[in-house]
Structure 1
């Protein structure tokens, strides 16, 4: 498995609209439109994204951190080989991803950017 960096962070909150406005208006983060994502998504200058979802919108976690990988299928296999339970691979118009629980019992994400959007 080859980790290339941090590429995603997200939060779920009952104050989604206020948080999204804060990110856009106060922190001046541009909104991104990506089909297949049920959250307000914001682009950061380094190419990473920050998502704001409604409670439960990211599953059973209030926060999520995503590691960028170059080969999601190989990374999933490496996690399984290490005895880590991984979720199903999901996808949207620009990424493939999966969730897993690390030894700290927190939810993390592996993300692979599609070649045409990398």
Structure 2
């Protein structure tokens, strides 16, 4: 618990300083953003939905990977990750080739 609190404080300080290229962990920074940008903490409360969904997706991926490793073949999580990477790459490639008006630069 103390380690988590320390990492949260570190990420909150990194966000407050807004120094470019000051890397922190993605998940911890996302959770810190949820907490520090909430209206309860005095923040604007913006983009909480996207942050909660991305945190949930990371948690769900960890659960699926752990279950696959414990109850299946230990190589199964790597197979799942490879398939997910291929699907995301194909979707990004397809969507990047769009010529819709909203995809053109201003």
Give the structure-2-normalised TM-score: 0.23
Q: Which has the higher helix share?
A: 2
Larger of the two Rg values belongs to structure: 2
Identify which of structures 1 and 2 has the higher relative contact order when contacts are C-alpha pairs closer than 8 Å and 6+ apart: 1
TM-score scaled to structure 1, two decimals?
0.21
More strand by share: 1
